[in-house]
Structure 1
Amino acid sequence: MSQLKKGAALNYITIILTNLVGLLITPYMIRQLGNAEFGLYSLVGALVGYIAILDFGLGHTIIRFVAKYKAENDKKGEENFLATTMAIYLFISIIVILIGAICNTNLEFIFQSSLNNLELEKAKIMFIILIFNLAIVLPGGAFDAILQGYEQFVFPKALNIIKYIVRSIMLVGILYFGGKAISIVILDTIMNMIIIVINGFYVFKKLKVTFKLHKFETHFVKEIFKYSFWIFIFMIIAQFQWRSGQMVLGIISDTTSVAIFAVGIMLGGYYGAFSSAISSLFIPRATQMTVAKVSNEELTDMMIRVGRISFISLIFILGAFLLFGKQFVFLWVGEAYYDAYIIALIIMFAYTVPLVQGFANAILEARNMLAFKALIYFVFLILGTILGAILAKKYNAIGMISGIVFGWFICQNIMNIYYQKTIGLNIIRFFNELFNKTILGFVFSIIIGLLINQIPGFDWFNFIIKAVLFTLVFASVFYFYVVNNYEKELVNNFLTKLKLISKKNEK
């Protein structure tokens, strides 16, 4: 198996592992830390996340340029490029420390209405440690990018899986023996430093990569930042999309509201990761079709195929969470987190259409046309965050997410017009095919699910019984009524492979 295929397999293992472990550890963290301290931990992490965007997308740039120099067998150019980027990273780390120092001295002013004196002291300690962590992690991330540029996917991904498992075990141990949020931050810093050292050793000793500045050229620096600029914009967008709410709530509300919001965002993030794991498989196909200059109708056909597979998978999760999510959240983290269920539900409803249109984004990447989308999301997510801050004064975490989601909604409608008018995709046909039979199948499954939800009981066993029954109902309705021949063939092929694996295991 090639590095690419092994890397892809490890990538999916990572997604499953992080989501599963996150679901298991989060309630334990909340129970051991308490709602307020868990919220404080989330809040400081969100604040540092804003400073982390000072990476300027250089990691992606390193992957691209290293792959280019490797293909051209230009060792001197690679050495000069890497030495230049490390000089830039050194400058960035200094800026990170300076900004961190300024923010740290003003934490009392920023959070004066939401944190008490003890929480402020803890926040300052965690913030200092995380800034130190960030100043090392940003340049250290260059080693991981170099490995990807050299198409060495297995080693770094396997190492990250090991790191995640070890970190999870140690985290449980620390919490069990009474450790608090500061202890977790210290653990993460140590783990990150170990990973950087190991990756650096592999890059220098195994790949024989060297950093050597042959000539410093300003136009070369401009070329680096020209490539990384739009990646940087999308990093800012991601911060507003997933972290802005925690920051705003930390300023105008309290750490408990931050904790509730963080849990809702976490569940929404798992929903998005599940869909991305499906749609990312088709990104190479989008590039190939674009290079081959296939017609817009053929691109629309592929977008429909990918979109329907993602949509059916997503509305199954959405339906199950709509029906049984409240019970799951109560059993998982407690009744105090009811608003987290509402937040996750809002995210799932709002995020479904953007997720099923992932193939359209792949087309934008293939055609190097991301600028318009970046600007639209940048403007309207900032406006959405402002609206969320206004609503949060009265409605707390739910008001915050409502404002952000409104920004998403406007962005997606604008992008659909852009896909239709500028890219040439047939968006009207896309939605007609997407909703063909799926909505009726979804509604029918929900009606049966409401009856299933009447089964008395509220424990984990009861939840599993309901979830299994709904899964059987949904699968039956969609297999026999909703899916088309192509989708049915995918299911049949998957079941055939499972049977073959089972027979081999029996032998």
Structure 2
Amino acid sequence: MTPLLRNIVANYTSQLYVILIGLAVVPQYIKYMGIEAYGVIGFFAMLQSWMSLLDLGLSPTLGREASKLKAGVTRAGVLKLFLRFLETLFSFTALVVVALSWILGPWIASSWLKLESLSPSDVALCVVLVACIISLRLLSGIYRGGLLGMERQVVANVIAVIAATLKSLAVLPLLIWVTHSILAFFLFQLVGAIVEIVLMRIAFVKALPSVATEKFQWNLLREPLRFGVGLAFLSGVWIVISQSDKLILSHILSMQNFGEFMLATSVAWGAYSLISPLQQAVLPRLVVFFEQNQHDKFVLLYRQTTMLMAAILAGVAGTMAAYPEHVLFAWTGNLTVAARAADILRWYVSGSGFMALAGMAYVLQHARGDVRMHIRGNLLNVFILIPSTIALTLKFGAIGAAITWAVTNLFFLIFWTRIVHKKFLPEIANSWLTRDISPALLVGALLCVAAHQLNWPVSSRLLSFAGLAVLVVATTGFLLFIQAETRRIMSFFLRGIVKILCTKNV
């Protein structure tokens, strides 16, 4: 198995585990802590997304510098200098975040959130705990970015699995047999964050070459910091785009209704999260191909990645959009919640799928080290999406935000990606959408149309889950094997698995 294929498999194994375990424990959280407590958990998850702005785009920048070290175009001593600079900067940022949380915690608990049964004093303490968790995640993100950039993705994913198990599964005995307190829940999350950062740092430091750190000079950091500033701006715009609706609704809705809203969006983001492992595995290799001027290999890998993404999204997101009530019922077992949140899930998962496909234009620009067009595109997105989201959310509530999300992302997939490709890869500007994307969009649309014609009653969680799983596998498999590029990849992958199994049995 090639290193790239091994990284893809490791990324997907880890990501699927993290997604599935995260989805599996949510019904238990609701059972033992209540839907209001889950709404508060969803609010803090949204808050953590906003606080990722503090990363300033520097973790992925470190990853790109690590990829350049692998390509032989930078020095290990410079990479170590950049790492030390980031550790110092983020440690100071962490102290500021925790201090502010002590000040703002009581206001958030008593004035912003619409609490009904939870104690405001407990929620205020949770704000401080979340600030500590955010601070640790900022630092661990540095080391994870470096590991991904050096293509040590198997190690990074093993650590992610350990941390997810601690945060999601290991907390259940505490909630079931000791206390249902949301404060205890976040204390356990803090323990998981500490374990994660320790393991990530050990792994990354071990992966670095044994050379001395370069003496501090601003000129050595100028180029990565310049690139990081662009990513920081993009991260800020991305957070505004993806989290504004949640921020507005967290103040408008009761925590119980907000919890139902977060259930639907969590499933939708689960579909989107299936794409990041593929991008993480491919991006360092694209950087190497670009830096070494291997243009044909760059284009081929970029197109193959697009087709793989499109097939996966058509299967997963298309099935969710076609049968959202079945998805929510199979997950929670609650028919009432499933019926109320189904339309939100349908529109959000569709928009997330469009956004994931359009995100390949960002992968292209990131690999080339030029994200200026992506900045312009995101600014345009802000001017279109944010006013529309605010207006429709205030008028129609969650469903207005969901429809706005889907329509805006479809617009950018169809029109903006072509502009980007005409600049950076003009040879595929016309064929990328029609040849690499359109089959998946067509199949996903046909699924939704067929769902309206096929009467599939919501009656059994097991039947719903089994039917959904079959539909996902059949749709994804069909798309993978109708295109020559992905058919070759899957044939190579299956031959590799057979070879490994045969070798072990000898």
For the criterion TM > 0.5, the same-fold answer is: yes
Offset at residue 350 of structure 1 (A): 2.5
How far 1:235 sits from its partner (Å)? 2.1
Q: 1:429 aligns with which of 419, 426, 431?
A: 431
Equivalent residue, structure 1, for 2:390? 389
* 1:2 to 1:47, Cα distance in 2 relative to 1, 3 A: same
Listed as ranges, the matches of 1:60-459 within 5 Å are 60-65=60-65, 77=78, 80-104=81-105, 106-107=107-108, 111=112, 114-116=114-116, 118-145=118-145, 147=147, 152-177=152-177, 178-200=179-201, 214-215=215-216, 217=217, 223=223, 225-278=225-278, 282-283=282-283, 286-287=286-287, 290=290, 292=293, 294=295, 305-333=304-332, 334=334, 335-381=336-382, 383-413=384-414, 415-423=416-424, 424-434=426-436, 453-454=454-455, 458-459=459-460
**TM-score for the superposition, normalised by structure 2:** 0.81
Cα distance in structure 2, aligned partners of 1:474 and 1:77? 47
Cα gap change, 1:363 to 1:429, in 2 (>3 Å): same
1:20 equivalent in structure 2: 20
Contact 2:328–2:338 (Cα < 8 Å) also in 1: yes
Alpha-carbon offset, residue 386 of structure 1: 3.8
Q: How far 1:26 sits from its partner (Å)?
A: 1.4
CA deviation map 1:419-470 (0-9, x unaligned): 254332544433332477666666666676666x535661023324533664
User: Which letter does structure 1 place at the counterpart of 2:460?
Assistant: D
1:350–1:408 Cα contact (<8 Å) kept:
yes
- Partner amino acid, structure 1, of 2:323: F
Give the Cα–Cα distance (whole angstroms) in 1 for the partners of residues 479 and 73 of structure 2.
Answer: 50
Tell me if structure 2 keeps the 8 A contact 1:373–1:415.
no
Change (3 A) 1:506 1:340: farther
Of 184-193 and 130-139, the range deviating more from structure 2: 130-139
Distance in structure 1 (CA, Å) of the matches to 2:302 and 2:208: 39
Q: CA deviation at 1:39?
A: 0.4
CA–CA separation in structure 2 for the residues paired with 1:286 and 1:207: 21
**Per the alignment, do residues 370 and 176 of structure 1 end up closer, same or farther by CA in structure 2, a change over 3 Å counting?**
same
The gaps in structure 2 that reach 5 residues or longer are none
CA distance in 2, matches of 1:166, 1:184: 11
Distance 1:246 1:204 in 2: 37
Q: Distance in 2 between matches of 1:279 and 1:207?
A: 23
Normalised to the residue count of structure 1, the TM-score between the two structures is: 0.81
Percent identity (aligned): 14
Amino acid of the structure 2 residue aligned with 1:429? S
Any gaps of 5 or more consecutive residues in structure 1?
A: none
| Distance apart, 1:127 and its partner CA | 0.5
- Name the structure 2 match of 1:36: 36
SS at match of 2:345: helix
1-side partners of 2:52 and 2:20: how far apart?
26
- Measured against aligned partners, the alpha-carbon deviations of 1:74-94 in whole angstroms (never above 9, x if no partner) come to 676556544433332233223
Determine the C-alpha separation between the residues in 2 that align with 1:90 and 1:79.
16
Q: Which amino acid aligns with 2:264?
A: G
Q: Is the 8 A contact 1:249 1:257 kept in 2?
A: no
Q: Sort the Cα spacing of 1:316 and 1:426 in 2 relative to 1 into closer, same or farther, 3 A.
A: same
Change (3 A) 1:187 1:144: same
C-alpha deviations, 1:401-421, integer Å up to 9, x for none? Answer: 333445434544552352254
Aligned counterparts of 2:484 and 2:455: Cα–Cα separation in 1: 35
Name the CA distance, whole Å, in 2 between partners of 1:368 and 1:292.
13
The CA deviation at 1:17 is 0.3
- What is the CA deviation profile of residues 211-263 of structure 1, one whole-angstrom value per residue up to 9, with x for unaligned ones? 97955x55566555323112212322332244332221112222123222322
Of residues 457-466 and 40-49 in structure 1, the stretch that sits farther from structure 2 once superposed is: 457-466
- Cα distance between partner residues in 1 of 2:447 and 2:86: 54
Q: Is the 8 A contact 2:69 2:76 kept in 1?
A: yes
Please tell me whether the aligned partners of residues 151 and 281 of structure 2 are also in contact (alpha carbons under 8 angstroms). no
> Higher Cα Rg: structure 1 or 2?
1
2:370 counterpart SS class: coil
TM-aligned CA distance change 1:457 to 1:397, over 3 Å: closer
Kindly indicate whether structure 1 or structure 2 has the higher relative contact order, using CA contacts under 8 Å at least 6 residues apart. 2
CA contact (8 A) 2:109 2:124 kept: no
Q: Which moved more, 1:175-184 or 1:123-132?
A: 175-184
The alignment yields a C-alpha RMSD, in angstroms, of 4.1
| Higher mean C-alpha deviation, range 282-291 or range 324-333 | 282-291
Q: Is the 8 A contact 1:449 1:470 kept in 2?
A: no
Residue 35 of structure 1 contacts residue 259 of structure 1 at CA under 8 Å; is this kept in 2?
Answer: yes
2:105/2:128 contact within 8 Å kept:
yes
Structure 1 CA distance for aligned equivalents of residues 301 and 374 of structure 2: 21
Which deviates the most, 22-31 or 329-338?
329-338
C-alpha change, 1:476 and 1:191, in structure 2 (3 Å) is closer
Q: Separation in 2 of the partners of 1:27 and 1:445?
A: 28
The answer to whether the 8 A contact 1:303-1:430 is kept is no
- Number of corresponding residues: 500
Deviation string 1:391-410 (CA, Å, 9 cap, x unpaired) is 22332222223334454345
